[in-house]
Amino acid sequence: MGALAEGPNPALGAFFVQYMNTTKAQQKFIVAGGFLPTRVDLTERGVQYPVRQEDMDVFFADLARTPDLGYEANSQPSYTGASLELVDELALVVAGEKDTTTAVSDLKAKSEQLVEELQP
């Protein structure tokens, strides 16, 4: 969530961002939308959803199991490109057009190239 300093009403934008990032506002937003929380306080205490609570509880359980590296990797600029390369390589393996060892080697090379290209 962000607001532009050069926007038509930067003070209102800043207020909106501040409000939306409060625990109360975030809880209301995620419950209404069926989203997982990004706030630590909400992930630690859990959230009650009006529908599909059992399904959401599965996701909450996974939050506790997911290593921090998983979140860091997901926010890297190369993540999307590397993920798409993974899908392409798996498709070739499933189609019998490439063996697994070669696909993994090619994926590693392509992913490393993406990381190098996208580093700031």
Whose CA is closest to 90, among 109, 70, 106? 106
Q: How much of the chain exceeds pLDDT 70, in percent?
A: 92
- Residue-wise pLDDT for 4-23, tens only, equals 777 788 888 888 888 888 99
- Residue-wise pLDDT for 100-116, tens only, equals 999 999 999 999 998 88
**What are the extents of the domains in the chain?**
10-66, 79-118
**What pTM did the predictor assign?**
0.50
- Residue-wise pLDDT for 30-40, tens only, equals 899 888 887 88
Residues 6+ away with beta carbon under 8 Å from 78: 111, 114, 115, 117, 118
pLDDT exceeds 90 at position 75:
no
Whose CA is closest to 25, among 36, 14, 16? 16
pLDDT at 10: 84
